[in-house]
Structure 1
Amino acid sequence: MEYLMCHIEKELFGSTSEGTPVYQYTLINKKGSIAKIITYGAILRELWVPDKSGTLSDVVLGFDTLQEYEKKNSHYFFGAIVGRYANRISRGRFSIDGVTYQLALNDGDRPNALHGGVKGFYTRIFKAIPMKTPNGPSLVLKYLSHDGEEGYPGNLDLTIVYTLTNSNELKIEYTATTDKPTIVNLTHHSYFNLSGEGTILDHELSVNAYHYTPVDENLIPTGEIVPVENTPYDLREAKNLGEAIDPLKTSLTKGFDTNFVLNGKCGELKLAAVLKDRKSGRKMEVYTTEPGLQLYTGNFLDVKGKCGRYYSSYSGVCLEAQHFPDSPNHSNFPSTLLYPGKVYHQITVYKFDVER
């Protein structure tokens, strides 16, 4: 039974260690699905969608409290908007128009910049504007990243719009402008588990990609773009994730931590992946305008999450639509440069349905 109208609620979620208030917005669409988003990191904390019997479950991982997000999320990035540059940059170094910039190396023992830095967007407080639209409830989130923040040049004016559509899509639209040449690569970092419990090893996944970018011992792309055919990365046809992960368990990554080169044109909305859970009947299709999809199967999860649930390896899967890792250092990769007068724009849609 459909709700008569969409609904938005606001409540105080807590205050940061510096005393800044953080608010949680609850979006409810006409079908009764629910998304809960906080202004800290523009984090999607909860996403409740129906199974084949109509029962709602929360299908994303996260924490119960703001303090846990502050203390622990630099290791996991649960539900966050990641930037200014998602994924890895080798040696934390890149050049624009002959000027070299150095970022913090925050990727553990690897000499890389990761997910925007020590205080990337996943730690920042966004200004929120709730909106009711014909398509469903929306939350507009704004943040101004100042010139030099985490080593990146230019004042970056960022807008994120979450919409929980009345057809059970979570649509995320990103827009950014700069006053100085910079690099931008944004993504959404939810870990999905369509069963709402256990692991994702019984999920099925297909990825709409004929190629991927292999990496070196520091998980930095070699610069090659190679076919997935006859490799463990061939997910063109749906595969059980447990079976797909198995040959990778002895690898450096212990599972997928892989950038796929999506079929279709960069800038045009296209199908990127389909994730299914046969038990619940839930299906999630991912559409994006981005050229790449980083698949991460939660290989090193080891933390207590929401409602006392323990998240171990493979408790969730990330499907991060983005540009390729280390793109500023590979001229053959799609460019992540943004110049004054130009607009960064991306749309990614997570569409939910059920199969009975």
Structure 2
Amino acid sequence: MRHSAILFSAVAISIAGSQAVPKPGADGKYTISSSGIKAQFIPYGATLTNLFVKDKADKDVDVVLGYDVVDYYAKDPGHPVYNSIPGRYVNRIGHGKYSIDNVTYHTELNDGNNTLHSGTNNWSYRTWNVTAATDTSITFSISDASNSSLNMLGRVEARVTYSVDNGSWSIKMDATSPERKTPLMLTQHTYFNLDAYRNPDTDKIWNHSLYLPYSKRYLEADDGALPTGNVLTAAPGSINDFASQPNFLLGHAKDQPGFSGNCGAGGACEGYNGYWPIENAPTDAVVATLASSFSGIKAELRTDQAGLVVYSCNWFDGTSALKKTQGLSDRHTVGRSSCVALEAQDWVDGINQ
């Protein structure tokens, strides 16, 4: 069982049962809500489409990326994996191969020399089943056939339950392979902008603070974002340090040499696309805090996973539209470095390293 929970608050004030499953709303979305929070979902990818929380002015703010039209999640050729469940094995499989019981399997190369999220038929491209829904929770399930993603063998049964309660959004995932050994690693791939792109001074994510108090180390990676096997300690104040101070901005080291190529791609990837192990954290401790002084929104993450991927949306190019719940009169698209994905998961390429 994998479990994560994110508690949202306005920090400027402080800096399944047997019942029939209801149908979605007229917009094609399922809605769950509780005090201070409302979340909407679709079966395609078991995707979170909207997440409304209160800002410092007590207004509802939609803090995740997505599309207004439900059908476009399946049609967008760019497929940024908006707030969905990729799988059966998330992130990278190095050089598109892995071994189980001394047998080597070759997987689809869809990310340079590596496999990303199990290939181009991963679970974020699939329509899941809605198996339970209440006013405050919804459960999706998927039965993944053997070899539905190249050389991901053995049937897998998986489910995810999303629930909300008093400003908190919780995610519980489990998956089993009853027929044979197979790679399994899951995450929820949510993109955040806590300002909902309404900060008139900037649409960038660099004004958000990120605190990872139990993540003093990070994985060294090559130009393709594949870990080298080295776990490095971030020096205080350095580019990859989010542990030494609780108010470090995501852009705190933006002017330091190396920031423009910190996430690889021959220096073309600016910012972050790496993995920070969570080490020596007490049970149920807050392991990540993302906050914006503009909106006053703070998100606190608790998880039982081994670490956290931080991706600062380097590859968005301004062609993806914002939702009507976001942006300003002169701001309608998702620009480079204007969001951040926080992905609680096990070690990247852990099946090989």
Q: Name the TM-score, length of structure 2 as normaliser.
A: 0.82
Tell me the matched-pair count.
307
Counterparts of 1:153 and 1:296, CA distance in 2: 29
- Tell me if structure 2 keeps the 8 A contact 1:293–1:321: yes
Counterparts of 1:95 and 1:12, CA distance in 2: 45
Match of 1:293 among 308, 313, 329: 308
| Change in 2 beyond 3 A, CA 1:187/1:69 | same
C-alpha displacement of 1:67: 3.8
- Indicate whether 1:176 and 2:192 are aligned: no
Give per-residue Cα distances to partners, 1:229-267, cap 9 Å, x unaligned: 25411111231122234431244321111100112369x
Kindly report the root-mean-square deviation, in angstroms, between the aligned alpha carbons of the 2 structures.
2.1
- Tell me if structure 2 keeps the 8 A contact 1:9–1:27: no
In the alignment, which residue of structure 2 is the partner of 1:234?
A: 241
Moved more, 74-83 or 319-328: 74-83
Counterparts of 2:58 and 2:189, CA distance in 1: 26
In the alignment, which residue of structure 1 is the partner of 2:137?
A: 138
C-alpha displacement of 1:52: 1.5
Counterparts of 1:126 and 1:314, CA distance in 2: 30
Which of the two has greater helix per residue? 1
Correspondence list, 1:62-101, <5 A: 62-72=66-76, 75-101=79-105
In the alignment, which residue of structure 2 is the partner of 1:148?
A: 147
In the alignment, which residue of structure 1 is the partner of 2:322?
A: 305
Match of 1:125 among 124, 127, 135: 127
C-alpha displacement of 1:99: 1.5
**For 1:249, what is the secondary structure of its paired residue?**
helix
Moved more, 121-130 or 152-161: 121-130
Q: Output the amino acid matched with 1:172.
A: I
| Change in 2 beyond 3 A, CA 1:172/1:103 | same
- Tell me if structure 1 keeps the 8 A contact 2:36–2:167: no
C-alpha displacement of 1:130: 3.6
Give per-residue Cα distances to partners, 1:252-310, cap 9 Å, x unaligned: 321111100112369x5442210111121110011110001000011121222323820
Counterparts of 2:272 and 2:113, CA distance in 1: 20
- Tell me if structure 1 keeps the 8 A contact 2:96–2:107: yes
Q: Output the amino acid matched with 1:297.
A: S
In the alignment, which residue of structure 1 is the partner of 2:24?
A: 11
- Tell me if structure 1 keeps the 8 A contact 2:225–2:274: no
Give per-residue Cα distances to partners, 1:134-168, cap 9 Å, x unaligned: xx711010001111120211111001000011x21
- Tell me if structure 2 keeps the 8 A contact 1:86–1:185: yes
- Tell me if structure 1 keeps the 8 A contact 2:22–2:133: no
In the alignment, which residue of structure 2 is the partner of 1:116?
A: 118
Give per-residue Cα distances to partners, 1:308-350, cap 9 Å, x unaligned: 82000122111100012111111xxxxxxxxxxxxxxxxxxxx
Segments of 5+ residues of structure 2 without an aligned counterpart are: 1-20, 198-202
Q: Output the amino acid matched with 2:228.
A: T
- Tell me if structure 2 keeps the 8 A contact 1:84–1:120: yes
- Tell me if structure 2 keeps the 8 A contact 1:160–1:175: yes
Counterparts of 2:337 and 2:77, CA distance in 1: 17
Runs of 4+ in 1 over 4 A off after TM superposition: none
C-alpha displacement of 1:181: 0.4
